[in-house]
Amino acid sequence: MIQYSKIRFTKKEITSVSNTLRKGWISEGKKTSDFEKLFALKLGVKKNSTIAVSSCTAALELILKSLCLKKKDEVLMPSLTFVADANSVINAGGKPVFVDINSKYDLNIDVRDLEKKINKNTKAVIIVHYAGFPCDIKKILSLKKKYKFFLIEDSCHALFSRLNDKKLGSFGDASVFSFYSNKNMTTAEGGMIYSKDVNTFKKLKKMKNHGITKSLMERHNKLPGYDVILSGNNYRFDDIRASIGLIQLRDLEKKNKIRKRIAKRYISLIEKHKLNIILPFKKFIKDQVSHHLFVIILKNNINRNKVFKNLIKQKIFLSYHYTPLHDLKFYRKNYRLKKLDKIKDKLISLPIHPYLKFEEQKKIILSLKKILNN
């Protein structure tokens, strides 16, 4: 069986968690603080700018709620992303607006379509570094300067992709990261916020803990009591997950190098066996990117479900990312995104994880070739 995603924990993670359990402090405490500081260091940002939270969705909601969105306020985002981006806007009181992709060779947000949709109600823009490949940051930052919107980088796929030696997720006003089980590093569930502005950082720290002025760690073995100075919720992290995260974070660069090697092997196999598919982001493979996904696009009239069913019979499990937001029942309106609509049913994500063997890759490509040629 060839799984789409695979996790293996080492003795290092198990020992780290065991040590935390023995000490008895399992809620958010020093380990979480250490994890936040190490993450900031790896991201290349100042120490007091990162906040560990219960999920990436929590991170998105906190940032968007901090903007105090009104019903007419719009937040622009790619349609080719996970639904959490749009749901978080709704939950924060705003209106999501969907933007097309660049092309079948670059599945990131189309900057031209983005600018067309900016208006007086545009409060924020969420960009997604799809599969770990960088959006056109230079043009997006230029639009931000021109139109004065709040820029959020959804960097869930981009742990830790670089652009000109700067990590993705460090360009915007704020960014979010995910530690879900299929990401490049995991804490089972969890997320991280980066906030460039120190006042926003302080506000978000309180919002994630019910708006309370002092955290449990700050009150420990001291005079009890606190105040509540704003509305918040429980989006806290914990020291058990931080114990996993500290180890995973230290091993991330090594695992990303393995992913890059796997991506290069896929390209060699695809070219060798003349697979009749479109390969987006090929020009970026040489760059320092996270390779969270390896995406191909089917050509002609090939039915994606037929491909999936054939491969499932062989116990080869693929995926696709994503059903576009404008095609989901809750968000379906009169949206037409010309470029995305042409390829949305042709996207396939091949397995890519540090434990994928060359023989497994070879089997995937040869099996695909047989299906595509029939």
- pLDDT by residue for the chain (374 residues), tens only, comes to 999 999 999 999 999 999 999 999 999 999 999 999 999 999 999 999 999 999 999 999 999 999 999 999 999 999 999 999 999 999 999 999 999 999 999 999 999 999 999 999 999 999 999 999 999 999 999 999 999 999 999 999 999 999 998 999 999 999 999 999 999 999 999 999 999 999 999 999 999 999 888 787 777 767 787 888 899 999 999 999 999 999 999 999 999 999 999 999 999 999 999 999 999 998 777 679 999 999 999 997 899 999 999 999 999 999 999 999 999 999 998 788 999 999 999 999 999 999 999 999 999 999 999 999 88
- Give me the half-sphere count of Cα atoms (radius 13 Å) on the Cβ side of residue 83: 10
Alpha-carbon span 127 to 136, nearest angstrom: 10
Chain centre distance of CA 25: 29
Alpha-carbon span 274 to 284, nearest angstrom: 20
What are the residue ranges of CATH 3.40.640.10 in the chain? 11-248
* β pairing state of 74-78 and 95-99: parallel
CA distances from 38 to 45, 71, 170, 247 (A): 10, 38, 15, 10
Alpha-carbon span 295 to 298, nearest angstrom: 10
**So what's the pLDDT on residue 221?**
67
**So what's the pLDDT on residue 286?**
67
Q: And the tokens for 2?
A: 């060839």
Alpha-carbon span 353 to 370, nearest angstrom: 24
pTM equals 0.96
56-80 b/e with 16+ CB inside 10 Å = b?
Answer: bbbbbbbbbbbbebeeebbbbbbbb
Chain centre distance of CA 61: 14
Alpha-carbon span 297 to 77, nearest angstrom: 22
Q: And the tokens for 248?
A: 């995973």
Domain 252-373 CATH assignment equals 3.90.1150.10: yes
Residue 327's Cβ-count burial label (10 Å; 0-12, 13-18, 19+) is: middle
Chain centre distance of CA 335: 24
Which CATH number among 3.40.50.720, 3.40.640.10, 3.30.2010.10, 3.40.50.10470 corresponds to the domain 11-248?
3.40.640.10
Q: Are the C-beta atoms of residues 143 and 111 closer than 8 Å to each other?
A: yes
Q: Are the C-beta atoms of residues 79 and 337 closer than 8 Å to each other?
A: yes
Q: Are the C-beta atoms of residues 173 and 197 closer than 8 Å to each other?
A: yes
**So what's the pLDDT on residue 294?**
97
* Residue 250 neighbours by CB under 8 Å, 6+ apart: 38
Residue that is written with structure tokens 């479900």 in the block:
305
- Per 3-state DSSP, what percentage of the chain is helix, strand, and coil (rounded to 5)? 40, 20, 40
What are the residue ranges of CATH 3.90.1150.10 in the chain? 252-373
